Structure 1
Amino acid sequence: MSVVVSSVVILFILIFVGFYIGRRGIIRQECTPDLSNFILKVTMPVTVFVSMIQQENLSLAGKIWQIMFMTLVLHLVSFLIGLGVIRALRIPKQEQGIWLFNCMFTNNGFMGFPLGLSIWGNDGLFLMAVANVVSNFLIFSMGLKFLTKYYPVKEKINLKRMVVNNLNLAVVIGFVFYLAQIHLPEIPMKLLNYLSDITAGLSMIVVGLSLSRMQIRQVFSNKKIFLLAAVRLLALPCICAAVLKWLPISADSELVSILILMSALPAASSQTILTEQYGTNTQDASRAILVTTLFCVVTIPFVMSLAL
């Protein structure tokens, strides 16, 4: 448990560093989207690829179908819970999409991958990357529908974007290398390792830079955002832990731990990209990201200790 706590604290400190340098203008806030693209399209896919090709334990291949099935089940359970929550709290129609999106999806890329790598090493990152393929598909289908519903936009689901992106390609190519046990020469491997090592720290700094653009007073003016944070960070992970015990498949403790961690992560940062692109509820999306990211440093260790 101390590994979880120390990993969360270190990553949270890096978020604060990003917040500080953003507020002080050491890095211009206009650079944040470029750094995000660099991580999402270059360093994070490299990190995933490296974690997969360094695997020599072929027994992990048998866990792939398990984690993909279990990830799909957890997303659907979270969706049903989200429907119940928005009806119970009578959330206005134009805010319902944000609530459903945040109930279903977490920040697996920016926070989950670095945290999983810190706790379980390449094994954890390997399995989280596979689970993220399912999440990406749902984000750009169901998630996009949630965020654009009740808004005057002609939303089109881009099948290519759902399936063909750098992260998914890294998983597929890395899986081929993993099964064939192909090893790269020393120089290309060192180059990839250098790029891979950038991801964890820079990801958290970028989260902090994104938070530095927000006005804190405006964020906390909406009291319902704390209810959303409680659902996202506490209620859903505990329910997901209970669901995992009732699934009709057996899974080892590491796999269960990874899935519980994924469900305990803060709000997915991808929602701001989508809401900005389609001109919908960007303000509430930003609020959800800020509040859940701030409180996750406490809730993640709590949930992991309680569930496990």
Structure 2
Amino acid sequence: MVVFQAILPIFGLIVLGYLMGRRGWLAGEAAAGLANITFKLFMPAVLFAGIARAQLSDGMSAMLLLAYFGPVLTVFGLVALIAHRLLGRASPLGLTAAYSNNVLVGIPLVTTLLGPGSLVYVFAILVFHSLILFSLQSFYSALGSGQKVSGVALLKNLANPLIVGLALGALLNVSGLDLPQPIWRVADWLAAAALPCALIVLGISLSRYRLRPSASALALTVVKLGVFPLLVWYVSGALPGIGHEARSVLVLLAACPSGVNVLAFVINQDDTRAVSSAVFLSTLLAVISLPLWMLLMSA
């Protein structure tokens, strides 16, 4: 019951955003403006303030990163290989199965269920999450289609405001310096607006796509919500030095639905239906699968 009570407000805000988008209450320039300020200011403030105050020694460990990114690369590679053989071309299907919505869903989920102290493990994953997967997809798309790898596109991954927020927070943390209290208060106010705005933006983004169930979308959803977190659960339990709290965070992050950002890597229009439906379907079914994974971790 506690798990459902924690998850329902998160998905309640996503549904609210979806309804606002479908009814046109917040659309066009207004929706784009909310998304921009959320991802360029509010969410970077969350990451900056969180990692600046975190005990980095608790989160930054080779075993923790291996427990998450080992399964990430496995899922990405296997799904991309199978899709490539079936389609005869590069596609973002591997990215869809491996890329979790760790910012919009993962941060509020971990904060609500495990407490703010557990966010240090989330930050450790976020430092490399988009950078590794987006760069890998960029290489794969370019090489798979015979194009040249774009150095500019790879550098844009580093210029992501979320990564900048993480980097600045980490620098402040390791420097041992502190900011004046008024600046911290501003950062905390910005961070307080981030999570509700981000979830509403996610709902608005989903309202642009229709759920068109297909075999590929269903298969991607099963891998994303089932196979991927199962691999993380197994690997994190087999590796030494990973406590129960850290393992719970990793499994929850892996069990989050596919991130909307993967749609930016859709080049072939034939992939649009599969990717958008997988993002939509995985977000919808995560209401059921996430509590099950949390119950497993608490058993």
TM over 0.5: yes
Deviation at 1:236, TM superposition (A): 1.6
Cα separation, 2, equivalents of 1:19 and 1:39: 16
Matched, 1:120 2:114: yes
Cα separation, 1, equivalents of 2:42 and 2:205: 18
Task: Provide closer, same or farther for how the CA distance between residues 29 and 290 of structure 1 changes in structure 2, counting only shifts above 3 A.
Answer: farther
Deviation at 1:181, TM superposition (A): 4.4
Give, as a single letter, the amino acid of the residue that structure 2 aligns with 1:263. A
The structure 1 segments of at least 4 consecutive aligned residues displaced by more than 6 Å after TM superposition are none
Matched, 1:73 2:63: no
Cα separation, 2, equivalents of 1:279 and 1:42: 32
1:266 and 1:289 in contact (8 A); partners too: yes
Matched, 1:264 2:259: no
Aligned to 1:61: 57
Cα separation, 2, equivalents of 1:289 and 1:303: 19
Cα separation, 1, equivalents of 2:82 and 2:5: 33
Q: Pairwise mapping of residues 119-268 of structure 1 onto structure 2 (< 5 A)?
A: 119-146=113-140, 156-157=150-151, 158-216=153-211, 219-220=212-213, 222-247=214-239, 249-268=240-259
Aligned to 1:285: 275
Give, as a single letter, the amino acid of the residue that structure 1 aligns with 2:16. V
Identify which of 78, 82, 88 aligns with 1:93: 88
Cα separation, 2, equivalents of 1:115 and 1:147: 32
Task: Provide closer, same or farther for how the CA distance between residues 10 and 93 of structure 1 changes in structure 2, counting only shifts above 3 A.
Answer: farther
Cα separation, 1, equivalents of 2:88 and 2:205: 27
Identify which of 90, 99, 103 aligns with 1:105: 99
**Could you tell which deviates more after superposition, 230-239 or 27-36?**
27-36
Task: Provide closer, same or farther for how the CA distance between residues 46 and 114 of structure 1 changes in structure 2, counting only shifts above 3 A.
Answer: same
State TM-score, norm by structure 1. 0.85
Matched, 1:23 2:22: yes
Cα separation, 2, equivalents of 1:165 and 1:213: 24
Deviation at 1:197, TM superposition (A): 0.7
Deviation at 1:26, TM superposition (A): 0.9
Task: Provide closer, same or farther for how the CA distance between residues 81 and 273 of structure 1 changes in structure 2, counting only shifts above 3 A.
Answer: closer
Structure 2 unaligned regions, length at least 5? none
Give, as a single letter, the amino acid of the residue that structure 2 aligns with 1:25. G
1:238 and 1:303 in contact (8 A); partners too: no
Deviation at 1:289, TM superposition (A): 1.0
Give, as a single letter, the amino acid of the residue that structure 1 aligns with 2:208. R
Cα separation, 1, equivalents of 2:33 and 2:113: 28
Q: Describe the SS at the equivalent of 2:241.
A: coil
2:256 and 2:290 in contact (8 A); partners too: yes
Q: What are the Cα deviations for residues 181-233 of structure 1, in whole angstroms up to 9, with x where unaligned?
A: 433223222211111011111111111101111234xx22x233112111110
Q: Describe the SS at the equivalent of 1:97.
A: coil
Cα separation, 2, equivalents of 1:147 and 1:267: 19
Q: What are the Cα deviations for residues 19-65 of structure 1, in whole angstroms up to 9, with x where unaligned?
A: 1111111111454343333222211110011112334xx4x414302
Cα separation, 1, equivalents of 2:124 and 2:231: 22
Give, as a single letter, the amino acid of the residue that structure 1 aligns with 2:295. S
**Count of aligned positions:** 295
State TM-score, norm by structure 2. 0.87
1:48 and 1:170 in contact (8 A); partners too: yes
The alignment yields a C-alpha RMSD, in angstroms, of 2.6
Deviation at 1:133, TM superposition (A): 1.9
Structure 1 unaligned regions, length at least 5? none
Identify which of 63, 78, 82 aligns with 2:79: 82
Q: Describe the SS at the equivalent of 1:138.
A: helix
Task: Provide closer, same or farther for how the CA distance between residues 164 and 199 of structure 1 changes in structure 2, counting only shifts above 3 A.
Answer: same
Aligned to 2:33: 34
Q: What are the Cα deviations for residues 267-305 of structure 1, in whole angstroms up to 9, with x where unaligned?
A: 122111232xx5653333211211111111111111222
The share of aligned pairs that are identical, in percent, is 23
Aligned to 2:296: 306
Q: What are the Cα deviations for residues 6-25 of structure 1, in whole angstroms up to 9, with x where unaligned?
A: 23211111011001111111
